Amino acid sequence: MSNTISLISANPADGMSKFLKPPKLIISSLGVLLVLWLAVAAWLCMGLDTPAEPTPAQTEQSDSVPQQQLIEQVRRSLPITAAGGIVVWLVTAIGVMRWRRKLRDKLGPAIAKSANEVKALRLQLAESRGAVEKRAGEVETLQQELAAERRKAERSVREAEANVQDRLTDLTHKLASLESELDQRRKNEKNLSEQRLSLESSKTVLELHVQERTLTVQQLQQLRELILNSAGDGICGLDLNGRLTFVNPAAARLTGWPRDELIGKTKEEVFYGNNHAPSATLPGDSDSPVFCRKDGSRFPVELVRTPIEEGGRKSGEVLIFKDITERKRAAATLAQKMAELARSNDELEQFAFVASHDLQEPLRKIQAFGDRLKTKCDGLLPPETLDYLDRMQAASARMRTLIDDLLTFSRVIRNSQPFAPVELGQIAREALGDLEVRIERSGGRVEVGELPCIEADATQMRQLLLNLIGNALKFQPPGGHPLV
């Protein structure tokens, strides 16, 4: 039995098949027992039929009747005993075969599962062996690489030692070179001292160049004076005490003073007169500063003051002024014309407002009488007459729309406010709130992005956005969904 179990464990499929087959030993044993049983039965039968030659004592016993009856009973029972033995042998064989069949049905799946597991374990064992062999190959490869790296490191060390030796040689050469350069520098210092002597000798040459440069500066000064004299605006230079240091001809002409007399005078004496205080107005105010001429006449000027700085400190200032009498006169004329234009616009706006109100009444009567005529004569008028009435009412409706628009325009112009910061995003949201019902009816969609803040009239901007969005929703193809 242990051999059978070890066979099943080693090879489950073959062991199971061999275990479930009837063993030859049992079959042979049963056959031998059956043969022995039959032989004993035959021997008994044959011994009873042909007994040995009887002795005198046996002769006497054989004559007895009971002994013969006993022999006859034994003879009769031998076939029954043989048949019983055969039956017992058959029952035993059948029982053994059924027991093995049940055992095979019970242990077959488990043994098959064990066979699969053993097969999987064998595959895993084979894979593990392959992995171990592969790992051994990798270890061998790593050992080879390590050996190669070691050789490479040794070679690098040798190269480094050679490089250090070469570097030491180079440093030795450089030290020799530095010593030679030091000698050369000493020679150069000697040459520099000689050149210093030559430079001192060339000082005279430099003084000549300075004289030439001075002459050039004088020429530039003359050019500057020519530019100042040619300028149309008055230009004056003042020192820290407010006295004139230079003036151009335009300044002398504008103030009426001779150019020579202006030098050394204060700006109050020249521009404001002895009996006039300095003007408090500065450039950029609503009123321009006013200067006085030598004869006492006054004229408005455009004044620019620029400080003169030397080394970060103020050393004076430059005054540039221009006579703007003609400009002031032209500005006054322009203001007068603008006032007249504004008055004319006011009159036109008032006329448009009044005319629009007066035109409303006839239009209302036209529409009212047209509606009465259609109501009272419904079914009595021919289609052509009804078409004329519809056209008349449509024309009057358009005329009324135009008049309303004119009234709105007049109201917007009349009630316009000074420009102020307006958030266009807020104005757009208010306009969309007013047009909400109209947007829902048209099935459209209005998208508002980021809008800036501008200087404008909030009422006019709101009306503008209402008109733009309303027109975009109105003028769409039939069945379309507008997107603004």
In this prediction, residue 2 carries a pLDDT of 46
In the prediction, which pLDDT does 281 show? 44
- pLDDT at 113 > cutoff 70: yes
Give how far Cα 336 sits from Cα of 9, 331, 333, 339, Å. Answer: 127, 9, 5, 5
E strands along 340-457, which residues?
A: 420-423, 453-456
Asked whether the CA dihedral 295, 298, 301, 306 is positive or negative, the reply is: positive
Among 149-153, 273-277, 428-432, the minimum mean pLDDT is found in: 273-277
Least confidently predicted of 108-112, 395-399, 421-425, 470-474: 108-112
How confident is the model over 333-371, as pLDDT tens digits? 999 988 888 888 777 777 776 766 677 777 778 878 888
Among 448, 438, 447, 425, smallest CA distance to 473 is for 438
| 352-367 residues labelled b (16+ CB within 10 A) or e (exposed) | bbeebeebeeebeebb
Long-range contacts of 152-158 (CB under 8 A, 24+ apart): none
For residue 299, CA distances in Å to 77, 280, 287, 373 come to 177, 15, 12, 77
**In whole numbers, what is the pLDDT of the chain averaged over residues?**
76
Residue 27, pLDDT above cutoff 80: no
pTM: 0.34
Q: Is the pLDDT of residue 265 over 80?
A: yes
Tell me how far apart the alpha carbons of residues 131 and 125 are, in angstroms, rounded to a whole number: 10
- Going by pLDDT thresholds of 50, 70 and 90, the confidence category of residue 187 is confident
The percentage of residues in the chain with a pLDDT greater than 90, rounded to a whole number, is: 0
Query: How far is 29 from 13, CA to CA, in rounded Å?
Result: 27
Separation of alpha carbons 411 and 482, rounded Å: 31
Sorting pLDDT into bands at 50, 70 and 90, what band is 286?
A: very low
Structure confidence at residue 26 (pLDDT): 61
pLDDT at residue 235, rounded to an integer:
84
Over residues 3-14, mean pLDDT: 48
pLDDT at position 216, please?
Answer: 82
Residue 478 in tokens = 């039939």
* 200 band by pLDDT with thresholds 50, 70 and 90: confident
State the pLDDT at residue 161: 85
Instruction: Compare 450 and 360 and report the one with higher pLDDT.
Output: 450
Asked if residue 52 has pLDDT above 80, the reply is: no
